[in-house]
Amino acid sequence: MDEKFKKLEEYLINLKKVLIAFSGGVDSTFLLKVCLDVLGKENVLAVTARSSTYPSRELEEAKELAKSLGANHEIIVSEELEVPGFSENPPERCYYCKKELFGKLVKIARERGFNFVLDGSNADDAGDFRPGMKAKDELGVKSPLKEAGLTKAEIRALSQKMGLPTWNKPSFACLASRFPYGERITGEKLDRVGRAEEILRGLGFSQYRVRNHADLARIEVLPEEIERFFERSLREKVVAEFKKLGFVYVSLDLTGYRTGSMNEGLKEEEKALWKS
């Protein structure tokens, strides 16, 4: 892990001046901190996108993190629902999203004299179906953590060692990932899923997803937290609150939380088309 960290520092030194796609998550916060340490504040700009696919809470956390690190930080608007092809929610949905977002970041970098745009992709991201990687590669966006071979677990360990508050922050993906491919995504649906997940957060669940299947909510929590739903009072509270949001049915996924569960129904040939 220490060797990978050294490789990361050496990689960043050669980039000299960078713009970072900053979400405030584990990976991008770690990347921002290392860039600041290696390149200096004047050579680093963190940019966060305000979007209906990300809860306002995540945006506020990103602001506070950037401020605490002493980074130059800017907010831009990236409205995926206006991007042709995104709302229809095809398997390559993330490609359209990342193409639009990274396109804006590359434009800002060129106008402001930054040599490269960086994202927080890590070594683990190579194993999942991620059409957004194709857009990133087309636009020349670099992924230093991935290049250094750093895994999510290693990034968490290094973040803890560096005193970053995000070292144990739950993983988060944009709210669009809560919908099965082919189900149209709207602002109202995104808001409903976001509110449902806030209910689970308020009940103390550490990692969760609410997958939206038309009028059915499929809840994913960590396997070790599934047994909490055996408590009748908690179960009834969740059902009542979810129904207030408009869900007709509320279900619990017995497999538990896992990333990319909406990709499980995709055929291998569909995935192969969008491998970076």
- Positions marked catalytic: 174
Q: 196 near 226, Cβ under 8 Å? A: no
**Coil/strand/helix, residue 211:** strand
Query: What does 136-192 look like in DSSP terms, one character per residue?
Result: HHHTT-B-HHHHTT--HHHHHHHHHHTT-GGGGPPP---GGGGS-TTSPP-HHHHHH
Element (H, E) at 216: strand 216-221
Q: What is the DSSP letter of 208?
A: E
Q: Say if residues 76 and 49 touch (Cβ distance below 8 Å).
A: yes
Distance CA 2, CA 4 (A): 5
